Structure 1
Amino acid sequence: SSPAVPPTPGDPVDPTGPALPPPTRPSGGPTKTPPAGGTTLNGTVTSGVEPNCLLLDNYLLIGGPRDLLKPGAKVTVTGRVQRDLLTTCQQGTPFLVETARRG
C-alpha cells in the first residue's frame, strides 16, 4: 500500500455561490461546533475590487441572498467568520452568511 498523502486545498470559493458547510475534523475526540448565527453585522454593503465581491465592515460576504445583498443596501447579517477560506476576492475576511435582512 502507498503512504497517505495529506489533502491539498481545493479551488477558491466563488463568493456568489452558497455558503459551504464547516470543514470536517478527524475523529478521535469531542469537538465543539460554534452556534449557528454566532456573529451579527449591521451596515451598508459595498462592492469589492473584484467582480461579484461584496463587503460589509471589511468582511467578505460569502453566500446569502444576492437579491438582498447588493452594493448600497443597508442590512443585518448573521453568520460566522471563516478565516481559512480561500476566495477569488482580494480583500475582506470571509464571512459565511447564514441569514440576512434589510435594516
Structure 2
Amino acid sequence: MPGQLTLQGKVSAGVESGCLVMESGGKQYLLVGGDPAVVKPGAEVEVRGVLKPDLASFCQQGEPLEVSSAKGR
C-alpha cells in the first residue's frame, strides 16, 4: 500500500483516556486501531500503517497512524 510505514517501539498510554502513543525514530505517533491484545501500554511492538494527518482526534498527542497490522517484538 502506498505511504505505508513500518515502525517499532514501545506503546504507552496517552494523556487522554483510551489513547495509545508510540515513539519511533524520534517522533511520536498516535496509534489508531490495531489488535488490542498486541497494541497495549507497555508492549514492544512492530506496527504497519498509514499516516492520517487530517484525522480529528481528542488525544492531542502524536501524529495519527492508522494501524493495519501489529505484532509483538
Aligned residues: 69
Structure 1 residue runs of 5 or longer lacking an equivalent are: 1-34
Q: Give the TM-score taking structure 1 as reference length.
A: 0.64
Q: Which has the higher strand share?
A: 2
Contact 1:41/1:56 (8 A) holds in 2: no
What's the RMSD between the two structures over aligned residues?
Answer: 1.3
Distance apart, 1:68 and its partner CA: 1.0
Q: Give the TM-score taking structure 2 as reference length.
A: 0.88
1:92–1:44 Cα change, 3 Å: same
- Does 2:10 match 1:44? yes
1:100–1:37 Cα change, 3 Å: farther
Q: Distance in 2 between matches of 1:38 and 1:87?
A: 20
User: Residue 100 of structure 1 aligns with which residue?
Assistant: 70
Bigger Rg over Cα: 1
Structure 2 residue runs of 5 or longer lacking an equivalent are: none
